Chain A
Amino acid sequence: MLFSSTLGAWIGALALALAVPVIRPIVLALGPPEFLVLTLVGLTFIATLSGKSMLKGLIMACLGLLVSAVGIDSQEGIPRYAFGQLYLWDGIDIVPLVVGLFGGAEVLQIMLSRGSIAQQEADTGHLAGVRQGLVDTLRHWWLLIRTSLIGVGIGVVPGMGGSVAQWIAYGHAQQTSKHPEEFGKGSIEGVIAAGAVNNAKSSGSLIPVIGFGIPGSVSTAVLLTAFLITGIDPGPEMLTTHLNVTFSMVWVIVLANLVAVVASFALLKPLTRLSFISGPLLVPFLLLVLTLGSFTANNSFNDIFVMFGASALGVACIRWEWPRVPFLLGVVLGGIAERYLFLSYSLFGWGWIDRPIVLLMWAVLASVVLAPVLKAIRRRRARTKTEERV
């Protein structure tokens, strides 16, 4: 599994490097109106796919956009939603927001359950099987390449989760296997497919972030935020002036996976024991990390209040099943979308709305929203017909 994951990541990194010359002319041909609608398409993808309810996802995305509007308006210098608070003039920092939204909820879960993170001893296997694992992976090299490419392809689509990619790769491996009857009983081909697709997907998900500034998941949203904080603007810049950063990321993927596989072999057993530490023993340390993580963003106590509020929101979202990811993406993408809106308006007036590529993207956006609605209507009609027959 470790070897197939690592080799899958390397194939994904190669695909990312090869994708640069392909997407560069496309990205450079697009203008602010196209990027604006692309941003909205990405946000809608995540909103519709990241939870159980599409409407809830879209509402949370709007809430995220509302939070992103807090602070001094870059066009006119008007403080928006600041309520006279000087701290809010700079906007709400993303770091305490992410720390609270995701970390705060996890700490509260540990406090409520009072158990350890893992309940049962996992079989970490014998390290003697390392060589066999490598041999098996290389013996199925063609399957490894195919499933890795499936991972890259699925990773490119925002909102497509790890489970979707793994099931598709697993299904493909079963369909093409000479021994499909072994699947579900520890088939090595199934293990290789699932391992390879998992890491290759991560490399694929970087392509829309680098090329178009559209994150497809929480991790890529945080990465996008890190780019923006350090002054790197995803999109054309990543493929022209900051091309070195893009290729650095390819090498980081290659080296990080190499380090990860070595560290996993060396530390697998002791690290698994960490998950059996009693929850209450971890709570003071986790609270310390949460506090420092949010405070050090701006050395401001107000960031701790933001983290506190975000934790409450995160817990409420989980308790009443409202998705958090569209909210976070709304916050991250809000500033970018507004900038593209004003660039589009300044360059083309309202004529930007019906540019040919923009129209095509509106159609994609409409299909993203309407497809699940039509599917639900069809399902409801079929159910009604079945009930009438009964």
Chain B
Amino acid sequence: MSGTDTTRRSPTDVAINVALLLVFVFGYLLAEDWSLRAALFPQIFTGVGVGLTLLRLLLLLRARRRGAAGPDVTLVDNQAEEESEDIEYVFSHADGRTWLQALAWIAVFFVGLYLVGLFVIVPVFSFAYLRAVARTRWWAAAIYAVTMWAVLYLAFGVLLRLRMPAGIL
């Protein structure tokens, strides 16, 4: 039943813990201004959150000082619907350049979506992404882009009558 949590002694873990502690403290203090009935529930769980993050922080720091395995009660076999090893492996082993490229493509999609809307960004992004990342031939990327636009227009727009996000331009 026991296992090891590989991240639990890392400085990042301490930083995340501190960030969460600040979030709970901020949440608690904001609720101070509200009436009792509105503030009661948020203050109960932000108070519990403050206590738990402080406890974990203290245990983390104590474990770091001792060089011990770490503070957490570890439970491994019960990860019912948690992430698979594959996804964990990809996120922890992808190099900085791959991360940067993936995040840049996501940024291009969402900035484009905000500016020109879904109908324009979907075919443009599909063509550019397939050419640059999948190294697809230009005509195949063009067919894919047109098909995507057609699916978007016919299936989602005409058939399902969904409203599409329009750009600000």
Contact = CB atoms under 8 A, between A and B. Distances in A.
A319 B103 CA distance: 15
Interface in B109-134: 109-110, 113-114, 118, 122, 125-126, 129-130, 133-134
Contact of A325 (B24, B27, B81, B156): B81
Q: Give the secondary structure class of A's interface.
A: helix
Interface in A311-340: 315-316, 318-325, 334, 337-338
**Most chain-A Cβ atoms within 10 A of its Cβ — which of B7, B23, B35, B92?**
B7
Contacts of B77: 161, 163-164
A379 B2 contact: yes
Given A56-B72, A160-B78, A63 B23 contact: yes
A304 B122 contact: no
A99 to B, nearest CB: 14
B79 A106 contact: no
B67 interface: no
Interface residues of A, number: 75
A31 interface: no
B80 A161 contact: yes
A51 B79 contact: yes
B97 to A, nearest CB: 11
A299 B56 CA distance: 40
A342 interface: yes
Interface residues of B, number: 80
A301 B113 CA distance: 10
B118 A288 contact: yes
Given A109-B87, A219-B81, A281-B144, A78 B56 contact: no
A55 B55 contact: yes
A217 B52 contact: no
A49 B80 contact: yes
Interface in A280-304: 280-281, 283-285, 287-288, 291-292, 295-296, 299, 301, 304
Contacts of B88: 318-319, 321
Interface in B138-161: 144, 148, 152, 156
B87 to A, nearest CB: 5
12 contacts: A51-B82, A53-B73, A53-B74, A65-B45, A108-B106, A113-B94, A161-B78, A280-B130, A292-B164, A318-B91, A320-B13, A376-B2
Interface of A: 48-56, 58-59, 62-63, 65-66, 69, 73, 75-76, 78, 80-81, 105-106, 108-109, 111-114, 159-164, 217-219, 278, 280-281, 283-285, 287-288, 291-292, 295-296, 299, 301, 304, 308, 315-316, 318-325, 334, 337-338, 341-342, 372-373, 375-376, 379
